[in-house]
Structure 1
Amino acid sequence: MADTLTNPMHVEVISPDGAIYKDDGVDMVVARAEDGEFAVMKRHLPLAAALEMCVVRVKKADKEERIAVFGGFLETKNSKVNVIAPLAELAENIDVARAQAAKKRAEERLARHEEDLDVERARLALLRAITRLKATNSL
């Protein structure tokens, strides 16, 4: 078993395209599960949680990395945190103007109340845009 008093906490975010984020020495990971927001720190008990569409915040010293995660799972064991998501984007890679335009389009679709509107699809598009904007601190 790893010595959790001296070994750093390792975090990895994995999507179908592979790992998009890896880091050691992380102090805390904050995410949102279906039953609310939670934080994981070094030496956390083993945990597996289904994630909502959310911003995962990785805190290390005085820095915070923000990652838009569109569902998936977070698991932690032995000071290792893995986030496995169908889609995840680093905040620095998000096109803010495109996310703002997508948010506006989705809001307009939902406001029109058209009979043939796929409400769930429009609602999910709006949530994806909002998640991207929150990740970039643009909302």
Structure 2
Amino acid sequence: MADTLTNPMHVEVISPDGPIYSDDGVTLVAARAEDGEFAIMKNHLPLAAALDMCVVRVEKPGKEQRIAVFGGFLETKDSKVNIIAPLAELAETIDVARAQAAKKRAEDRLHSHSKEIDMDRAKLALMRALTRLHATKSI
């Protein structure tokens, strides 16, 4: 464990808009793939995983960064973790009021049972709003 603290991992999160997060000194990365949750520490075996819409936790000594990731891929090799996502947002950049309003709209659409509502789209909107709120610890 001491070796992890003296020689930690490097993590990068990249979206089509460019780099979202890049840092050294990381001791743990936790995410959810399509087949379940997992965590990565230094010297993890090489891994490639398709990510679900989830909150990625990046831990450093005394600090945790939460990133809302909306799909994508995670790859790790040689104590480097790369996440490539179609959309990713740092928790501190998320507008909580807007996410709560989006959650309410999606729930209202789902409860309306109207034939004019695209239920799959409403479910996806609800999942995005919940992911944002979980990233900010507002839920």
Does 1:47 pair with 2:47? yes
Do the aligned residues in 1 keep the contact of 2:5 with 2:27 (CA within 8 Å)? no
Q: CA deviation at 1:5?
A: 9.6
* C-alpha distance 125-6 of structure 1, shift in aligned 2 (>3 A): same
SS at match of 1:55: strand
Q: Which residue of 1 aligns with 2:100?
A: 100
2:44 partner letter: H
Aligned residues: 136
Q: Aligned partners of 1:30, 1:64: CA distance in 2, in Å?
A: 11
Q: Aligned partners of 2:31, 2:110: CA distance in 1, in Å?
A: 28
CA deviation string 1:8-46 (max 9, x = no partner): 310000000111100001000000001111000000000
CA deviation string 1:100-130 (max 9, x = no partner): 0000000000000001211111000000000
Q: Which residue of 2 aligns with 1:27?
A: 27
Do the aligned residues in 1 keep the contact of 2:13 with 2:21 (CA within 8 Å)? yes
Do the aligned residues in 1 keep the contact of 2:5 with 2:25 (CA within 8 Å)? no
- In the alignment, structure 1 segments of 5+ residues that lack a partner are none
Q: CA deviation at 1:62?
A: 1.3
SS at match of 1:122: helix
Q: CA deviation at 1:52?
A: 0.4
Backbone CA RMSD of aligned residues? 1.3
Q: Aligned partners of 1:45, 1:128: CA distance in 2, in Å?
A: 30
Q: Aligned partners of 1:18, 1:120: CA distance in 2, in Å?
A: 29
Superposed structure 1 runs of 4+ greater than 3 Å apart? 4-7
Q: Normalising by structure 2, report the TM-score.
A: 0.95
Q: CA deviation at 1:7?
A: 4.2
Q: Aligned partners of 2:76, 2:70: CA distance in 1, in Å?
A: 19
